[in-house]
Structure 1
Amino acid sequence: MSDLKIGVLSCSGEECLGGTIARLATRKMLEKLRKDKTVTLCLPLYLAGGEEERSFAKDYPVITVDGCSKCCAKRATEKYSGKVSDTVIVSDVLGEDAALSKIVSSKDLKKEHYQMVDKVADEICQKFDKITLEIEK
């Protein structure tokens, strides 16, 4: 099972902080927290018909990370590839006021925003570890 990869599909919302936090937390999973065990999927490519993205999501576990309750990443995955293994909704983790605030550019983020990224990344890690344990059983 050490070869198993888990996909993380982040929302690409640009209109609120939740989308930025979702992307940065997903990137942190890929580069630091579950390096070599995580594959990130590109939502715009996925929506445009990217067969490689869609095939991966059909064959491997996928965690979606949505910035808000619209759950665009989850809905797209379930429409084109089937049920997701789990989902993280940034607005559920941080609260709607924080997730829906208008700070959207990573160049405008402050220390407290990076703490939000850490909190969401920790939530993704918990879901990731749960899926891994279930597979190893």
Structure 2
Amino acid sequence: MKEKTNQVVVLACSGIGKVYGALARETLYELMERVRPGVVVTTCLPLLMIEDPEAKKLVADHPVITIDGCPKSCSHKNLEAQGVNAARTYQAIKFYTAHKDLKPDGIVELDENGRKLAAIAADELAQVVDELAEGGGK
């Protein structure tokens, strides 16, 4: 069981070349840099895939939120491969379906709509982050 922590790990999709992968990553950056700096932390998904000891310890010691760009759910599946269950899981497209006026575009860098959508998604996740940081949820 994970102890009360002040940090929450967010693992975002590494789906290079996919708009919803870019949305997942941009949402993570918004969480780390604007919404909950110092609370939201991350690690490189490939480091977790190769079982880097520091990456494994990070996800084992803190609650984890996964944000995937497609139904393959690579972030979620790679976390489970380490024997860790995600506290919460999200598909980036769900944020778009809730805000269809902000159709994202761009694969390396999101367009203005994509950046706005990532900011909204991060704002929506703030309460979840706060709850997990205070030890709520698993």
| Fold equivalence (TM over 0.5) | yes
Matches within 5 A, 1:1-137: 4-95=6-97, 103-106=106-109, 109-135=110-136
CA distance in 2, matches of 1:31, 1:66: 19
The answer to whether the Cα contact below 8 Å between 2:5 and 2:62 also exists between their aligned partners in 1 is no
Q: Which runs of 5+ in 1 are unaligned?
A: none
- Structure 2 vs 1, CA of residues 77 and 39 (structure 1 numbering), >3 Å: closer, same or farther? same
The count of aligned residue pairs is 131
The TM-score normalised by the length of structure 2 is 0.82
Shift of residue 2, structure 1, vs aligned partner: 9.0
Secondary structure in structure 2 of the residue aligned to 1:68? coil
CA distance in 1, matches of 2:125, 2:69: 13
Q: Which runs of 5+ in 2 are unaligned?
A: none
Shift of residue 60, structure 1, vs aligned partner: 1.0
For 1:76, give the aligned amino acid. Answer: N
CA distance in 2, matches of 1:50, 1:34: 25
- Structure 2 vs 1, CA of residues 26 and 35 (structure 1 numbering), >3 Å: closer, same or farther? same
For 2:90, give the aligned amino acid. Answer: V
| Superposition RMSD in Å | 2.5
CA distance in 2, matches of 1:2, 1:76: 24
CA distance in 1, matches of 2:31, 2:68: 15
User: After TM superposition, what 4+ stretches of structure 1 lie above 6 angstroms from structure 2?
Assistant: none
CA distance in 2, matches of 1:75, 1:11: 11
- Identify, as 1 or 2, the structure richer in helix: 1
CA distance in 2, matches of 1:76, 1:17: 21
Secondary structure in structure 1 of the residue aligned to 2:15? coil
The TM-score normalised by the length of structure 1 is 0.82
